[in-house]
A = this chain, B = another copy of it.
Amino acid sequence: MLTVQKYGGSSVADAKCIKRVANIVADTYRNGSDVVVVLSAPGDMTDDLIERAEEILPGASRRELDMLLATGEQQSVALMAMALEALGLPAVSMTGWQAGIHTTSRFGDARIRNVTTEHVLAELERKRIVIVAGFQGITNSGEITTIGRGGSDTTAVALAASLHADLCQIYKDVEGVYTANPRIVPEAKKLDEITYDEMLELASMGAEVLHNRAVEMARKYGVKLEVRSSFVSKPGTIVKEKTKMEETKISGIAKDSNIARIALVGLRDEPGVAFKVFRLMAARKINVDIILQSIGRENSKDISFTVAKSDLKAAEAALLDEREIIGFDKLDVSNTLCKVSIVGAGMINSSGVAAAMFEALFDVAVNIHMISTSEIKVSVLIDDVNADVAVRAIHKKFFGE
């Protein structure tokens, strides 16, 4: 039995937190499992280091920023090894490179290429708990990299995949994945199981429980994930390929407020117009989420799409820059919208799920601005102010009181 456990920055913020986590690790080890622990940098350390770099040179080279940031996780793992030592357990800490995490050389956002497990396996063989610095790796030429957002989750999954671990536990300050955000919907339920696909849709909908990169890698390599709490000793939510058949057709409801809508009105109704618009967005490195195209008046068409709120200004400027090339009558933007989505593998084979969602919104008089659907999700764009009312209404419709 081999378990990989990942703990985030708040779990290693100070000596007290570190000791608490060490006790969870110790329990797992004493119950007979080999354990590999992956840690993030302590608390706000990454932000503090970025601030110190900014003081010297805003926008410094990513290579040097990675060199700087990688020290955070290195401190976490050393301190955790000491905390386990204090409990009388054999432990050894490793940086990303020592644990064989090889990445591409895209500093700040590197991808894991492969994991050479010899070093970790040798230490597990000696019955040591191996503590690995998350979020970091090494290039073929020996440079230290960081692997971007969701990095430590991804490190944990990559190690679990390479080591053929039985389970990869991601410890959070929540007890698992819920049918909706419990802060909005008090009666939200913890899910026992969820599929990778559902988890991916929920994550991209703003339910920030697991990062998509980590889930995608888990799906690719069939790594069984468990999202669970580091504060409460209870089973969490298992993420795997197929879940047991369940009563409900949907797994969860998510809300994403980090969204802005751009509408281009009066585009020429000719081939290549959409291509021009989204090639431009890609060139400016602006991620586009929902895209809707509708027929406009008199040989014209309208295109609406959503971007992250932080990208709105840049997107608007880009479109105005190339207004003549693209050709449109009017540019309309809104950043007081919100995306609410329902996700569930069950809805593929079930009609009426979308209709039930729209009915719930009608019941509470919430107007829908845009609709987008995929095989396992339905998303609507509504006014930001209605978001919580909408989520509660939808939850009630699908899960009852």
Contact = CB atoms under 8 A, between A and B. Distances in A.
5 contacts: A56-B82, A56-B83, A60-B86, A67-B77, A68-B79
Contacts of A64: 78-79, 81-82, 85, 93
A85 B68 contact: no
Interface stretch (A47-55, A171-179, A203-211, A364-372): A47-55
A202 to B, nearest CB: 36
Given A49-B75, A67-B74, A71-B71, 15 more contacts: A57-B83, A57-B85, A57-B86, A60-B81, A60-B82, A64-B78, A64-B82, A64-B85, A65-B82, A67-B95, A68-B74, A68-B78, A68-B79, A70-B74, A74-B74
A119 interface: yes
Given A19-B56, A67-B77, A70-B74, A82 B98 contact: no
Contacts of A143: 98
A142 interface: yes
Main DSSP-derived SS at the A contact region: helix
A61 interface: yes
Nearest to A69: B78
Contacts of A57: 82-83, 85-86
B79 A53 contact: yes
Contact of A98 (B18, B78, B142): B142
A115 interface: no
Q: Which of A55, A64, A81, A93 has the most CB of B within 10 A?
A: A64
Contact of A79 (B52, B79, B83, B86): B52
Contacts of A71: 71-72, 74-75
A144 interface: yes
Interface in A80-113: 81-83, 85-86, 92-93, 95, 98
Nearest to A66: B78
A15 interface: yes
Nearest to A79: B56
